[in-house]
Amino acid sequence: MNRPRRILWITLGISLALKIILILVHGSFYDYHSDDREYLESARILLKTGVLTYNDPTRPTVFITPAYPGFIALIMSVFGTGETAAQVVRILQAVMMTGAFALLYRIGNRLFSPKTSLWAVFFCVVYPPFWLESTFLFTEAMFTLALMILLELAFRAEERPTVLRAAAFGLAWAVAVYIRPTIALWPGIFLLILILRRRIPWRSLLRCGLVSALLFVLLLSPWWVRNYEVTDRFIPLTESGGNPLLLGTYPWTVPSLFMDEQRTWHATDDLQVNNRQDTERAVERLKTGFHRSFWTYASWYTVGKFLLFWGDVFYWLPLPGIPLVVAIILHYVLLIPGFIGFWRFRRNTTALLMASLIAYMCLLHMVYLTHSRYAIPLLPLLFLFSAWEFRRISDKHRNNFQP
C-alpha cells in the first residue's frame, strides 16, 4: 500500500472510531423530533405489518420511498425496535460516510493528485455537519454514499462503456432513487453530456444506455405496481412535492418561522389529500406573489434560495465542545474556495460531469424548499475543489505545484 492510501485509511479509521464513540456516548441526544421520528415509526410498522406508512399508521403511503425505512426495519428485525436499533443505525451511517469519503478520494484522483484528494478527505473529516449526518436518523448519510457510488460508476462507464458497467450504473441509479427520488433525472443529463462529447461510438452509447434504462425500469417496477395497487394511479416516484413546494413560496424566510401557520393548513391526516391541497395553495401563492411583488419573488427564487442552499449551515444540534460559530466559520472557509476552484477548473470535462450533478440538485431544490440539509450530500465534491484551491495558493511560490 502506497503512502497516500495508508494515510487515507488511517485518517478514515480514526474518524470512524471517534464517531462511534460519539454515538455510543451521546447518540440518543441527536433526536430532532422530526423526520427521524417518522422514519422510526414507519420502520416499526413495516416490520410488524409489511406495510409502508408515513405519518398515518393506518394508511399505506406514497409520500416516501422505501429504502431508508426498509433499512431501519432490517436493523430492528435483529436488534429490536428500541434505542439499540437506532444506535446501530447511527453506527452504520458513520460507516456509510466513511465509505463515501473513501470514494471521494478515488473520484478526486481522476482530477487531481492523491495529495489533493487527501486534503479533501481531511476537510470532510473535520467538517462538523458531516458528523451530524452520521448521528441524525435522516436519509443524508445513505444518500451521500449513493451519490458517490453513482458518480464513480458514471466515470467508469464513460472510460470503458461495457454492458456490465452500464448495468452497474443502472443498479446504482435505481438504488439512489429508492433512497431519495430527487436524483431520478440526473442520469439523463449524464447521457446528454456523453452525446455532446462524442467520445463514445453511437452504437455503444445506445446499447449501454438501453441496458441502464431497462435495469432501472425493472428495479423500479415493483414500486410502480405497489403504488398503483395503493392509489389506482401510476406514481413513478412519490407524491410529496406539494408541501416542500408550498414551504418554498415564503420569500426570504425559513420554514421554522411559519410552522405554527402550517399546522392550520390541513383538515385531514391523509397525505395524498394534503399534497394536492399544498400544491394548489403553492400555485396560488406563486401567481399572486409574482403579480403583486415580482422583484421580491424573483430575487427569492434566484439569489435568495441559492444563498440559503449553500450559505446556511447544517448544524441543527451541537457537537460536544464545538459551538455553532466554529461550524459557520469552517463552512465558509471551505465553501468559498470550493466555488473558486470549480470556476478555475470549469473547462475540465471530468469537472463538468461533477458540476452537472451539483447544478441539477441545487436548481431542483431552488424550485421547492431550500435549506442546508439538502446541500450536505454535495459538499464533499465542492471540498475537492477547495483542496485544490488551497494547495494552489499555498504552493504558489513553488515551481513544482501539481494539482
CB atoms within 10 A of CB 87: 18
- For the stretch 98-121, pLDDT in tens is 999 999 999 999 989 999 999 999
DSSP 50: S
pLDDT tens-digit readout, 222-233: 999 999 999 989
User: Alpha carbon 385 to chain centroid distance?
Assistant: 19
User: Where in the chain are the domains?
Assistant: 3-394
56 phi, psi to nearest 5 deg: -110, 110
The pLDDT, as a whole number, for residue 257 is 54
Confidence (pLDDT) at 255: 60
- pLDDT for position 261: 57
- Averaged pLDDT, 178-182: 96
Is the pLDDT score of 60 beyond 70? yes
Q: Work out the pLDDT band at 189, boundaries 50, 70, 90.
A: very high
Residue corresponding to grid cell 415493483: 222
pLDDT band (50, 70, 90) for residue 252 = confident
Q: The cell 447518540 sits on which residue?
A: 27
- Residue 136 is which amino acid? F
Instruction: Provide the pLDDT for residue 162.
Output: 93
Non-local CB neighbours of 38 within 8 Å, separated by 6+ positions: 54, 55
Q: What's the CA gap between 145 and 103, in Å, rounded?
A: 8
What is the chain's Cα-based Rg? 22
30 backbone dihedrals φ, ψ, rounded to 5°: -90, 60
What is the C-alpha separation between 382 and 187, in angstroms, rounded? 20
Is the model more confident about 2 or about 113? 113
d(CA 383, CA 390): 10
The grid coordinates listed for 345 are 477548473
Distance CA 44, CA 392 (A): 51
- Is 134 in contact with 90 (CB distance < 8 Å)? yes
Give me the chain's average pLDDT, please: 91
* Of 154, 166, 180, the residue nearest 214 (C-alpha): 166
Average pLDDT over residues 147-170: 94
Lowest model confidence (mean pLDDT) among 91-95, 158-162, 211-215, 254-258? 254-258
pLDDT for the residue 290 = 92
What pLDDT is stored for residue 247 in this prediction?
86
Residue keyed to cell 455503444: 204
Q: What is the pLDDT of residue 90?
A: 98
Query: Which residue is associated with the grid cell 451521546?
Result: 26
Tens of pLDDT, residues 259-276 = 555 555 666 767 777 778
Contact by Cβ (8 Å): 55, 63: yes
DSSP-based three-state secondary structure for 322: strand
Integer Cα distance of 358 and 377 in angstroms: 10
